[in-house]
């Protein structure tokens, strides 16, 4: 039935013609701009390029080719144009649904990566370790790295510098 399938890039002559928004009917080599060699292999006659739009935006193109008729008959043109008018909304809904599913997956993945802390956080009054839900104690850094989206950069506050390194501090500090 079908020996091969091809497609046209957005800047191809076929696509540019379809962007006119109007169906194009005629002889296959004239419509699809094919060489005589290709025409002989395919044995095609009449052809149509029917744009499929949704709310004025081109979403697809229906290509119709006949091996029997030199021109696509009027009743077939009417039927193909009616089909094109209906499938524009369907194609758009499918694309929107695919995008919706992609975004939902992206949000779920992001949500899995986000680690949040909320509620009461049991912390030792002396050493500042944090108790987890299983009753185990962890250093603050260890616990927060596991349960929050944070990185640590260690330093020493002025109070601790005075306590730990009194020789380095001047009298004015």
Give CA–CA dist 4/30, Å, rounded.
20
Please tell me which residue, 35 or 28, carries the higher pLDDT value: 28
Reported pTM = 0.54
Question: Is the per-residue pLDDT at 102 higher than 90?
Answer: yes
Tell me the per-residue pLDDT of 127-157, one tens digit each, with 9 for 90 and over.
889 998 899 999 988 888 887 778 888 888 8
Can you give the C-alpha Rg of the chain in angstroms? Answer: 35
Can you give the residue ranges of every domain in the chain? 13-110, 115-173
Q: Are 59 and 19 in contact (CB under 8 A)?
A: no
Please tell me which residue, 58 or 114, carries the higher pLDDT value: 58
What's the whole-number mean pLDDT along residues 79-100? 92
Give the pLDDT score at 25. Answer: 93
CATH number attached to the domain at 13-110 = 3.30.450.40
Give the pLDDT score at 4. Answer: 59
């Amino acid at each position: 039935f079908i020996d091969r399938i091809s497609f046209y890039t957005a800047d191809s002559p076929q696509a540019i013609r379809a962007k006119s928004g109007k169906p194009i009917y005629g002889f296959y080599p004239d419509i699809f701009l094919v060489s005589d060699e290709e025409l002989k292999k395919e044995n095609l006659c009449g052809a149509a390029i029917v744009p499929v739009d949704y709310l004025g935006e081109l979403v697809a193109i229906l290509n119709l080719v006949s091996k029997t008729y030199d021109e696509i008959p009027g009743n077939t043109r009417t039927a193909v144009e009616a089909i094109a008018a209906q499938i524009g909304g369907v194609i758009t809904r499918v694309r929107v649904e695919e995008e919706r599913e992609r975004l939902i997956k992206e949000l779920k993945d992001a949500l899995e990566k986000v680690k949040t802390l909320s509620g009461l956080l049991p912390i030792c009054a002396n050493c500042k370790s944090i108790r987890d839900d299983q009753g185990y104690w962890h250093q603050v850094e260890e616990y927060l790295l596991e349960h929050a989206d944070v990185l640590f950069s260690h330093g020493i506050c002025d109070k601790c510098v005075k306590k730990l390194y009194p020789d380095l501090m001047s009298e004015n500090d």
